[in-house]
Structures are given as C-alpha cells and as structure tokens.
Amino acid sequence: MAGIYIHIPFCKRKCHYCNFYSVPSLKWKDELTAALHNELRLQKDYLDEPVETIYFGGGTPSQLSEDEVKRLIDTVRENYTLINTPEITLEANPDDIDAQKVRELKNSEINRVSIGVQSFFHEDLKYLSRIHTSEQAEYAIKALQDAGLGNISIDFIYGMPSLGQEHWRKNLSRAVDMQIPHISAYAITVEPNTTLDVLIRNQKKQPVSEAEGANEFRYVMKYLPENNYIHYEISNFCLPGYHSRHNSMYWENKPYLGIGPSAHSFNLSSRSWNTSNLEEYITEINRNNLPVDSEVLDFNQQYNEFVLMGLRTNRGVSLNGVAELFGSERAAYFQKILKTYGNKNQLVTDGDHIYLNDEGKLFADRVISDFFAVD
C-alpha cells in the first residue's frame, strides 16, 4: 500500500515558530490547484502499489473549497488505484471550521480531520502567534463531532514558557474529556531564522526551556496511556483503532508520493522533493516539467532509515528484519551497539524486537543516531 500527500501552502498568517513552506496569501490559489491536478497526472507512474491514504497538508488546506477538494480526490482516483476504503485526511485551523465548512466536510470524502489546536489557553496561542481562540478550537471539535465526523486528530505544542504544568495538564484533560481519538504532542522547536528565533534573540519573547519541555513530555507519556491511549509513535497517541494510517506509511517505510511545492516523495530506494517556491512550481508544472530534486539511497542510508523509523514507533526494530533486509553483518553491528545500552535503561528487548522505553524516548534522537551506520 502507498500514500499520497498534497501540500496546500496557503496560510492566513505565518506562525512565528513555523518553518514549513507556506505563503500568507491566496493570490495563486487557482493556478496552484490547476498545477496540483497536472502534477498528479505527470506522476501517475511513480507508485507501483494501490493508494491507501490521501493527506491534505499545509499550510492550511481547510482554505480549499468543497469542490476543489473533491476534484483533487477525483484526479487521484482517475490516475491511481485507490482502494475502496481510503483514509482521507484534511488539516484544518480552528478558525476555518464554521457551520458551512462542517457541512462541506460532511458532504465530502474527507473521513479524518486534523486540527491545529496547539493549546486551549490564550497565553499559549499568543506566544505561538496563532490567530484562533480557544473557544474556536472547542467549537470546531464539537461541531465536527455533532456532525458525525468523529475521526479527529488534534495537535498540541508543549515546552513554550507560557504553558507550564497546570496548563499542560488541563489541555490533556480537556482533550480526553472531549473523547478526541488521536492526539499529537510536539515539543516546540526554535528553528533558525524563523520569526520566533529572531524574537527570542532580540529578547522580545521568552526563550524555550528544554527542562520544562522534558517534564511535560514525561507527563503526557504517563497521562494519556493511563486514559486508554496507545503511545504508538514518539509524538503520537491514539485510542484503539484510530492510528494515522497515512503517517504510519512514513514510519513503516512504505512508499508515498508528495504533490505540491516543497512536498517530499519516497519509493523505498530514493527520496525526492519539489521546489519550495510557489511561482517556480506552477511555472514548471505548466510546462509539464517536474521541479524536483532527488537522491538515491545507498545501503547505509536505507539501513539508517529503517532504524530511524522503527525505533520511533512502539513496534520497534526487529533483529530478524535487520538480518533479512541488510544481512547478518549489519545485524551483528546493531547488536553490538545494543550491548552498549545494557545499563542505561533506555531500550527494551522483547523477543526479537527492540524499542525505546519512556526514558529512551526523552533522548530519542541521540539514541537512534547511535545505531546509524556511517561511511
């Protein structure tokens, strides 16, 4: 099975912390949607497997109309083998979810909505420069649920100085009380040259505390599983049966095709990525050219990708899987590194599988990179 990601780069305003490619204008929307259709046709031979998921990300894809979303799904169906029961996700900002948008979603093939809540508290939303209110976030969730669109995921951000343990506990408690089936919790990252980075360096915003973020991560790892959520990937928690089928494509090393400016694709042996320039993307697609760069993954890169994605999830890495895919020598290398972690209480061995425990998840990037093979 494979997935298709469609990047919609439009936002009402660029959030201070965001380093995803987006533009605060709808000026090129008609031209962009036409180019997306064309790229879907140009890339129709990229995937050899049936498509199980379609994911509209951004940016803010909830700024597309019902008809624009429908026609893009129709183009996927016309050019790819789409399974009968695909997961089709639309990312949305709370301020875009009104009664009309709920009716549109109800009438569409969208069957999963991911809402960028970030926090239910005004102080946190202000720090993040979000334009929605906590009231709009709660309204959006309730309106979708009342319309029978209960397959909802929400994003939370933790680690910003405005949050604190009390707000964090109340955010999670509110989400559990609202019976939201999927919760993604991300530590705030101050990416270089973002507005947030500049504001912090100029002492116009408080800096981020890694220690506070670590404490908040410890709490979410404890609290959500106590309330029946499965911690199935480092940043993702779900009630049984509500894991993200699309994002699991990434973590399970399955092929996916990225459509739109800045979108990435993976076909098991190579990665490719589109230009992060809206006008260039539209111009080249209109010429029937793919504005794409790519790299072929060598043996070490394929192994590292396998380890990275496996250890991020609760399925972990299978030693037999390493041996079958990469040979006995690479399996012996993995086991050699594993032995160095014997007394660190960060990894768990369960039969053939190795995975991170909660302590290991706190230092996931460092632990996982220790298992990487280098040239």
pLDDT (tens digit per residue) in 302-343: 999 999 999 999 999 999 999 999 999 999 999 999 999 987
In the chain, what's the furthest Cα-to-Cα distance? Answer: 59
- Report the residue count for the chain: 375
Q: Which residue has the higher pLDDT, 153 or 11?
A: 153
C-alpha dihedral over 290, 295, 299, 301, to 10 degrees?
A: -110
DSSP annotation string for 48-96: -S-EEEEEEEES-GGGS-HHHHHHHHHHHHHHS-EEEEEEEEEEE-GGG
Closest CA to 249 of 233, 226, 270: 233
- 193 confidence band (pLDDT: 50, 70, 90): confident
Residue 177 has pLDDT above 90, yes or no: yes
**DSSP bridge pairs for 91:** 114
In contact, 253 and 260? CB cutoff 8 Å:
no
Distances (CA, A) of 213 to 19, 103, 141, 170, 185: 20, 38, 26, 16, 11
**In angstroms, rounded to a whole number, what is the distance separating the alpha carbons of residues 36 and 260?**
6
- 14 confidence band (pLDDT: 50, 70, 90): confident
Residue 35 has pLDDT above 90, yes or no: yes
**DSSP bridge pairs for 272:** 265, 294
Please state, rounded to an integer, the average pLDDT across all residues of the chain: 95
pLDDT at 197: 85
In contact, 373 and 313? CB cutoff 8 Å:
no
In contact, 49 and 255? CB cutoff 8 Å:
yes
Closest CA to 101 of 136, 73, 64: 64
Residues 6+ apart with CB under 8 A from 10: 22, 23, 24, 25, 26, 29, 32, 58, 59, 60, 63
Query: Across residues 214-243, what is the average pLDDT?
Result: 98
Token digits of residue 354: 């190795």
Distances (CA, A) of 103 to 38, 110, 306: 28, 12, 41
- 238 confidence band (pLDDT: 50, 70, 90): very high
Residue 370 has pLDDT above 90, yes or no: yes
Measured in degrees and rounded to the nearest 5, phi and psi for residue 183 equal: -130, 125
Residues 6+ apart with CB under 8 A from 229: 183, 237, 238, 239
pLDDT at 16: 85
**In angstroms, rounded to a whole number, what is the distance separating the alpha carbons of residues 313 and 76?**
29
| Full set of structural domains in the chain with CATH | 2-251 (3.20.20.70), 299-370 (1.10.10.10)
**3-state DSSP call for residue 6?**
strand
**DSSP bridge pairs for 231:** 237
Distances (CA, A) of 69 to 7, 20, 56, 206, 281: 12, 21, 9, 39, 20
- 357 confidence band (pLDDT: 50, 70, 90): very high
Residue 153 has pLDDT above 90, yes or no: yes
In contact, 7 and 256? CB cutoff 8 Å:
no
Token digits of residue 101: 């948008």
Burial class (CB in 10 A: 0-12, 13-18, 19+), 218: middle
pLDDT at 293: 98
Residue 19 has pLDDT above 90, yes or no: no
- What is the rounded end-to-end Cα distance, in angstroms, of the chain? 32
The answer to whether the pTM exceeds 0.85 is: yes
